[in-house]
Structure 1
Amino acid sequence: MEGKSPSSSSSASAGVVAKAEKLMREVMSGNDASHDAWHVLRVRDLALSIAREEGLSGDLDSMEIVELAALLHDIGDYKYLRDQSEEKIVENFLEQEGVEESKKIKILSIIKTMGFKSEIQGIMIDDLIPEFGVVQDADRLDAIGAIGIARCFTFGGSREVVLHNPDIPPRANLSKEQYMKKEEQTTLNHFHEKLLKLKDLMKTKAGRRRAEKRHKFMVDYLEQFHAEWNGES
């Protein structure tokens, strides 16, 4: 599997980026296709593209933060933790590679607070840095649209979650704990509890622009899904 990295070759830290990608591939090799290395590579490419559109390409340090945060963002994801030591993999890697302290702090802050569960809880970085919005928007764009639909059903299937049950309504005003537990839920409800909300949570102009088309695709898909489910189509 070959990824592409528009900024790595010109960065003084190309070696660290290459090692980060290698680490990511190794750690995530056992994940299902909803959160595998291909997902991360798409997020990395989206993040670099958004960063350029947002005017960050002139700052190599900023682009390095974006790329490393994107490559490492799903390592230690609570949904795939095999043991607690995995929560420290990214921090240990950045320290071992001698990543500058200010960059390391930004990368870790982005990764630790970019998840939907953090936004539910109201956790945000003080004085939001532009790199945060870029990486978060890239990750959220990969969660919606055609690929987002495929990922949603792939994850649900991997956890043997019920596809749809009209008797189980989507949960409103979710707490972080409720979101993480996913008790008595269906895959289709995930669209209403999270995915359809992401368009309005984008932080960058580039992210909001791209999210419009992907969001509409999901809305149209759900309309067709329900029509078929109810025997109307």
Structure 2
Amino acid sequence: MHSFHFTPFQSLAAALIPNLLQTTDGSHDHSHLLRVWNNAKAIHAGEGGNLELLCAAVLLHDCILVPKDSPQRNQASQLAADKAIHILQTLHWPADHIAIVASAIRTHSYSAGLTPTSIEGRILQDADRLDAIGFTGIARCFYTAGRMNSQLYHADDPTASSRPLDDRSFALDHFPQKLLKLAINFTTATGQALAISRAQTLQSFYEGMLAEITTS
């Protein structure tokens, strides 16, 4: 990943990129950061906020990764925020700017269940969630399911009508368990508007797949 992708903050990106994980998780790799940055810029154009702080938050929001099937998953954003504080301190950033970035990272994760307190935090959360829905979200869902050795769906009850949803075992369960709920929880008006078409894509795919697998 090149720093020029983060224009006009190339020098900041150049300083932060060496601190990023070299991960084999294709759903949280450098291309994910670029997509979240593009989402964040689109939302920032409508909502305002400090774009430089937002750039730092985007670059560092996944600087610590905890696997989806780990019992510590809900701690991932806190661990990433703690590491971000250390990294930005070494760059001699002002304490108040570091606090905003760290708070944005701490509250961005769905699994953390926290509400952002700054506009930068709200934008980061919405930008990250946009990447979890739509066509990209579908691709990431099934990619992650494959990494976790999950099945595509429960053969006897794909809609979970008589069993608890279990998205660690069945990829399709991740749609009603999480993905189909994401679009109603955006915290910026711009992010919510961008989410509408992606949410419709998710719903169409889910209904279409159910139609295919339940046809007798």
| TM-score class, shorter | 0.7 to 0.9
Alignment of 1:68 with 2:46, yes or no, is: no
Alignment of 1:154 with 2:143, yes or no, is: yes
Q: CA deviation at 1:193?
A: 1.1
Alignment check: 8 A CA contact 1:4 1:45 kept = no
Counterpart of 1:89 in structure 2 is 83
Structure 2: gaps spanning 5 or more residues? 71-75
> After TM superposition, which residue ranges in structure 1, 4 or more long, deviate above 3 angstroms?
86-89, 182-185
Q: Which is bigger in relative contact order (C-alpha 8 A, separation at least 6)?
A: 1
Alignment RMSD, CA only?
2.4
Q: What pairs up with 1:38-187 in 2 under 5 angstroms? A: 38-56=31-49, 62-79=50-67, 88-119=82-113, 123-125=114-116, 128-165=117-154, 166-167=156-157, 169=160, 171=164, 185-187=169-171
Alignment check: 8 A CA contact 1:6 1:48 kept = no
- Give the letter for the 2:5 counterpart: K
TM-score of the superposed pair, with normalisation by structure 2: 0.84
Q: CA deviation at 1:4?
A: 1.8
Determine helix, strand or coil for the equivalent of 2:129: helix
Alignment check: 8 A CA contact 1:171 1:193 kept = no
Distance in 2 separating the partners of 1:7 and 1:171:
47
Distance in 2 separating the partners of 1:70 and 1:211:
18
Distance in 2 separating the partners of 1:97 and 1:52:
27
TM-score of the superposed pair, with normalisation by structure 1: 0.78
Q: CA deviation at 1:99?
A: 1.3
Alignment check: 8 A CA contact 2:148 2:168 kept = no
Counterpart of 1:217 in structure 2 is 201
Encode CA deviations 1:101-160: one digit per residue, 9 max, x unaligned: 0011111111112111122xxx334xx211111111000000000000000100110111
Distance in 2 separating the partners of 1:94 and 1:42:
22
Alignment of 1:30 with 2:14, yes or no, is: no
Cα distance, 1:151–1:204 mapped onto 2, change above 3 Å: same
- Give the letter for the 2:15 counterpart: K
Cα distance, 1:223–1:183 mapped onto 2, change above 3 Å: closer
Distance in 1 separating the partners of 2:110 and 2:101:
17
Counterpart of 1:11 in structure 2 is none
Q: CA deviation at 1:171?
A: 4.7
Structure 1: gaps spanning 5 or more residues? 9-13, 57-61, 173-181
Counterpart of 1:5 in structure 2 is 6
Q: How many residues align?
A: 202
Distance in 2 separating the partners of 1:184 and 1:148:
16
Counterpart of 1:20 in structure 2 is 16
Alignment check: 8 A CA contact 1:21 1:71 kept = yes
